[in-house]
Homo-oligomer: A and B are copies of this chain.
Amino acid sequence: MEQFEKYEATCEEELAAIRDSLQILGGKWKLRIMRYLNNHVNETNTFKKIQRGVECISAKMLSKELQELEINLLVTRTVMNTRPVTVNYAMTEYGLSVFPVADSLVNWGLNHRQKIK
């Protein structure tokens, strides 16, 4: 029963970690954007190009999501010295670590669809 309290505390730590994960994987766009970048890894991925590639995302959302991805060290933003300026986005090495986690979500989700159907 003391153990009861203890568990709740540990649980909170884990839930905080999950919250961090979900802030990145759980949104509507971030994973889509990262998948796009990862799939066009040898190209220059400008803002407009990403916007065209990620269906229906507004400039506002794309801007916001890219900023958050950059803050989280998952994506790099590089301003190139052209006229007019072009900006290139790319996955970081670290950013690639989200994909295995995403895959485990995909697998569970696919199985779940079968189960529920």
Residues of A within 8 A of B (CB): 7-8, 11, 14-22, 24-26, 31-32, 35, 39, 53, 55, 72-73, 94, 97-98, 100-102, 104-113, 115-116
Contact = CB atoms under 8 A, between A and B. Distances in A.
User: SS class of chain A's interface: helix, strand, loop or mixed?
Assistant: helix
Contact of A105 (B17, B72, B94, B111): B17
A17 B109 contact: yes
A106 B14 contact: yes
A22 to B, nearest CB: 5
List 4 A-B pairs, minimum CB-CB distance, nearest first: A17-B109, A21-B109, A20-B109, A21-B105
Contact of A101 (B17, B19, B31, B108): B108
A22 B21 contact: no
Nearest to A97: B108
Given A21-B105, A72-B112, A98-B108, 11 more contacts: A7-B39, A11-B35, A14-B110, A17-B110, A17-B112, A18-B102, A22-B22, A26-B26, A73-B115, A100-B104, A104-B104
